[in-house]
Chain A
Amino acid sequence: MKNNLKISSAITLVFSIGLSAAQSSEFPFDVPNMIEQSEQAGITHTYSGPWEYFVGGGAASFDCNGDRMPDLFLSGGKGKAKLFVNTSSAGGNLSFAEKALDIGRSNLKVLGAYPINIDNDAYTDLVLLRLGANQILKGGPDCSFTKANKEFAIKGGREWSTGFAAIWEGDNALPTMAIGNYVDRDAPGTPWGTCSPNMLLRPNADGTYSEPLALEPGYCSLSMLFTDWNKSGEPDLRITNDRQYYRGGQEQLWQITPGETPRAYTQNDGWETLQIWGMGIAEADLNGDGYPEYALTSMGDTKIQSLDEESDEESPIYRDIAYESGATAHRPYTGDDLKPSTGWHSQFIDFNNDTHKDLYIAKGNVEAMTDFASYDPDNMLLGGIDNKFTEKGDEAGIALNSAGRGAVIEDFNADGMLDMLVVNRKTNVNLFINEGAKTSWGHRPMGNWIKIELDNGDINKDAVGAKISVKTGNLTQNKTVQIGGGHASGQLGFNHFGLGVAERATIRVQWPNGDWSHPYKVFANNHVIIQRDSPSANYWYPAED
């Protein structure tokens, strides 16, 4: 017991030795200790190339061999894209083994990659975003892939593709896929004001795809995401665009109604013009109201948009809460370079398992833009109470001098603490293992966690579009299963939630068709498998050595 006004230094010392070595007075929550170990883990890979590869640099994280451990596909730009199979042991150091890809020249000119099970079989497929024809890779046994554009009657196009998102519309067996395109290099006057239109691919009943539907005008998209912004149950398509090259463009939201021609929201709908160097989109329900917030990375300040009070289900009116949240991340937080930052991949996650959503932003100068920071460390904005963020990238160990682009934040060693891979331009990737909170005697685990895998059945097996609700006490955390967003990077697999001090949690799932599940009661620190209509959840355990 201590009186608030009389905290003795002696007592403070005792507690700092015993428990609070990882805490600071201004930020009391755990800071994860992220240790870079790409070389030790066996990943040597660089994303590089000329101007066309200043953007892109994506990674895909997914299980390609059925062991539920996340494997990695890394884009290489002008160089080769590579596949790395996860050989990490549960709770141990990270370890990967490169596996050769037999896909001809399709592993060149790859800017990004998103995992998705297009044909509802037992294997995850990959969509490769390329400079030139995009490529569908159909997954097979033991991390094998075959080119499948013809099988799906998908034309890869000739554009410079940098964004991807997918959703299952209505009762369709196959997903609707959106491709985000960047500068049209063949148009007169390129690159200024010459953005290619984005494309929407809708499936036919026979398992093929129709001719792509152009979403015009395109404004040089760098990221896109299907999102149920108004809780209508029908996700619309949000696109972030790079003002560097468009003329008269803006951020976009397309109304996507099954069977109908997409329509862009306009000022008449309340959609306000916003012009940024849009690089990446992240979505999370930060305030637990069921409506998502969005982090939009840019050059300079990051935007965090939240529905405004004046909005309604037909009026997407947003306000920027980045400043009040402490998450503008507009310039480097360490070092002497005070020029504006350049943000790329963004992702809301819970690094320290304290139930507060954190925001990661990959940073890195485009190439040699002298008006922007050269040393531009990635952000780890740890969430706290009242949705305030605190920058802890330096303390966490991720403030490295590399030019980040895409990233995946995944639990690569199945210990419940999120690790991270960052694709860098022109230098090797960074692979960080999350060791937990650092103390004077070593590392200690952080909060409790739960990871949830959904099985939606024969169609859309991974339940893309499902909403997961995790309740602990009076706290409800919501997450939508999505394919898209970030910067040229996607992941598929377990959905991670930090649980703080909760020993158990109640999970409900709103499946993609809108049906709610009954509550599933589970214990913390488990990998949970929920099969649609199953009376109870099962647990999964990683293989032990």
Chain B
Amino acid sequence: MRTSLILVGLVCLSATHSFADNTLPWAEKTDAIGRITQMPIGFLGREELDVLVQAGEELFEAKFKKSEGAGRPMATAAILPTKARRLSKTAFARTSGPDAASCGACHNEPLLGGAGDFVTNVFVSEGFTNADFDSINPQFSNERGTNHLFGAGLIELLAREITTDLHDIRRNALKTARSEQKPTRVELTSKGISYGFITALPDGVLQLGEIDGIDTDLVVRPFSQKGVMTSLRQFTVNASNHHHGMQATERFGARWTGESDFDEDGMTEELSSADVSALVAWQATLRPPIVAKPDNAEWQAAAEKGKQVFDQIGCAQCHMPALPLNSLQFDDPGLFDVAGTLQTYQVEAPATYDLAMLEWAEALPRNDDGQVMVPLFGDLKRHTMTDSEVDAFGNELMSQRFVDRNIFITAELWGVASTAPYGHRNDMYDLTEVISAHGGDARASRDAYLALDEVLQQQLIAFLRTLEIK
């Protein structure tokens, strides 16, 4: 791997501002846009990473301006570049978007990069049909709460390692089926998680009817409530268009749309690939939530017992307390995105930064094999969350990206104490309510919780209330 060639053209604020060059100290503009003039590639040292992260943080909290490309009068929120049927009359729209001037407008509880209250709910639609979702009628969308992003880099690394494992299993199954000339059925397991079975046939055909909780390309998509987004980079490109009308060149630029100003707002190159890299770097390096040790001795004791209850009633089957991670080396762009989001092979070389350089990484627990045990309380797998009796999580109107309405990825519980209200719609006030809403695959654990005596229930809550973002 070559050393980094990152070029950082810092905008120097000098005492000799010119009125003509739009650098007035009070100018309504985002200094961080375009600060990173070229995509970083190769290994980044701490200093280089810090510069990138700083730009990313400023972009994350920036209130984007119309003069910077905010707004998309002739484009929809769709992930695929899609023209609106008519010129939007409003700059902002709570349902079809753009619905925020900044990322931080919603991701801010308890800190920048955090979750959001009900008021920050977003309206999710494919944005293609159903009136192109240029309607302010929310019936064309699913309403979702804002997730926090702390530890997101670790989540993506886990997903990538699992995907790599599953692809290796697939490759070996196909090889065996071909060499032995008989069908080969194997389980898809990685890090203790089972994603069902595949059967490879001698002619190279892969039967996919038994996979469980994952897409047919066997790529773990860890982000969004639904578990349908591959990477921070993909989500950043999606969300920048959806929520702000800031269109990233790597998807909305002329290479794919034939237009340099796809949303027809008079601005081109609204978010460069280097800008996106900065946003990714900031999110990927966000420290993970912690398991706090309460000052109150009674709470401390209750939480310790509550952790045992958590395991005993089966919560930990899906909300797995920790998953082993082999490497803290983060590549951006990553390997598993496809055209429309930059991917490893679309660039000369990805930027590579080792999260172990960061102070918070020292506190991560490791197992005897030296693997980092990422305390996410999740399994990066999708599950059916409703049944005929418990169906509160079945309240969405539409499937999303091939995933049925009542199926969601296991919510990682790290940080849950800092991110009320709960549920994919952010409409459940407390932990007891959201636990009670678990049906489908989680029904047995939910029933077990409800059957506990009040003391044990409270101990479980005491434990969950220690999972904080700080």
Contact = CB atoms under 8 A, between A and B. Distances in A.
Contacts of A500: 80, 256, 339-340
A51 interface: no
A541 B258 contact: no
A448 B34 contact: no
A2 B267 contact: yes
A538 B206 contact: yes
A539 B216 contact: yes
A1 B69 contact: yes
A384 B230 CA distance: 29
A85 to B, nearest CB: 17
B405 interface: no
A544 interface: yes
A444 B346 contact: yes
Contacts of A29: 254-256, 258
Contacts of B246: 1
Interface in A1-28: 1-4, 7, 11, 14-15, 17-20, 23, 28
A413 B38 CA distance: 34
Contact of A521 (B33, B343, B402): B402
Interface string A521-534: 11111100100000
A8 to B, nearest CB: 10
Interface stretch (B50-58, B182-190, B268-276): B268-276
Given A1-B267, A501-B340, A525-B338, A66 B256 contact: no
A402 to B, nearest CB: 31
Interface of B: 33-34, 37-39, 67-69, 78-82, 126, 128-129, 132, 170-171, 174-175, 178, 203-209, 215-217, 219, 230, 246, 249-251, 253-261, 266-274, 338-340, 343, 345-348, 401-402
Given A1-B246, A1-B270, A539-B205, 15 more contacts: A1-B271, A11-B34, A28-B253, A67-B204, A68-B204, A446-B339, A501-B339, A504-B401, A521-B402, A523-B217, A538-B206, A540-B203, A540-B206, A541-B170, A541-B204
A99 B161 CA distance: 43
Nearest to A7: B268
A283 interface: no
Interface string A121-136: 0000000000000000
B207 A448 contact: no
B215 A543 contact: no
Interface in A99-153: none
Contacts of A542: 204
Contact of B272 (A15, A535, A539): A15
12 contacts: A11-B37, A18-B39, A19-B255, A20-B255, A354-B256, A385-B257, A444-B347, A501-B338, A504-B402, A523-B219, A539-B216, A544-B171
A468 to B, nearest CB: 18
A17 B39 CA distance: 10
A474 interface: yes
A539 B170 CA distance: 11
A3 B209 CA distance: 51
Nearest to B246: A1
A87 interface: no
Given A30-B255, A473-B80, A441 B348 contact: yes
Given A20-B255, A523-B216, A543 B204 contact: yes
Contacts of B33: 1
A390 to B, nearest CB: 11
Contact of B348 (A7, A442, A472): A442
Interface core residue of B39, B258, B271 (most chain A CB under 10 Å)? B258
B216 A28 contact: no
Nearest to B267: A1
Interface in A37-72: 66-68
A445 B346 contact: yes
A20 B339 CA distance: 14
Nearest to A442: B348
State which size class the interface on A falls in: 35 or more
B204 A540 contact: yes
B82 A473 contact: yes
A117 to B, nearest CB: 16
A404 to B, nearest CB: 29
Contact of B67 (A1, A23, A475): A1
A536 interface: yes
A229 B383 CA distance: 46
A18 to B, nearest CB: 5
A474 B83 CA distance: 9
Q: From DSSP, what is the main secondary structure of chain B's interface residues?
A: loop
A11 B348 CA distance: 19
Interface in A62-106: 66-68
B259 to A, nearest CB: 8
B206 A539 contact: yes
B340 A538 contact: no
B110 to A, nearest CB: 31
Contact of B258 (A28, A66, A444, A445): A28
A447 interface: yes
B362 to A, nearest CB: 34
Contact of A501 (B81, B266, B271): B81
B182 to A, nearest CB: 16
Contacts of A23: 254-255
A67 B181 CA distance: 13
Contacts of B174: 541, 543-544
Interface string A439-454: 1011011111000000
A503 interface: yes
Contact of A472 (B67, B80, B217): B80
A354 B255 CA distance: 9
Contacts of B272: 15
A14 B203 contact: no
B402 A501 contact: no
A502 interface: yes
B175 A544 contact: yes
Nearest to B251: A501
A540 B340 contact: no
Given A2-B268, A4-B267, A543-B204, A448 B340 contact: yes
Interface string A495-527: 000011111100000000000000001111110
Given A15-B249, A19-B249, A354-B256, A538 B207 contact: yes
A540 B253 CA distance: 32
Contact of B269 (A11, A67, A441, A524): A11
Contacts of B132: 474
Contacts of A448: 338-340
A87 to B, nearest CB: 16
B340 A66 contact: no
B4 to A, nearest CB: 14
A61 B346 CA distance: 30
Nearest to B64: A1
Nearest to A354: B256
Contacts of B257: 385
Interface core residue of A2, A29, A445, A526 (most chain B CB under 10 Å)? A2
Contact of B205 (A20, A442, A521, A538): A538
Nearest to A453: B205
Interface core residue of B171, B254, B259, B269 (most chain A CB under 10 Å)? B269
A501 B260 CA distance: 16
Contact of B206 (A3, A15, A521, A541): A541
A7 B37 CA distance: 14
Nearest to B349: A441
Given A441-B348, A536-B208, A1 B269 contact: yes
A447 B256 contact: yes
A132 B255 CA distance: 50
A521 B403 CA distance: 10
A20 B272 CA distance: 12
Contacts of A445: 339, 343, 345-346
B268 A4 contact: yes
A502 B230 CA distance: 13
B273 A18 contact: yes
A474 B127 CA distance: 9
A1 B80 contact: no
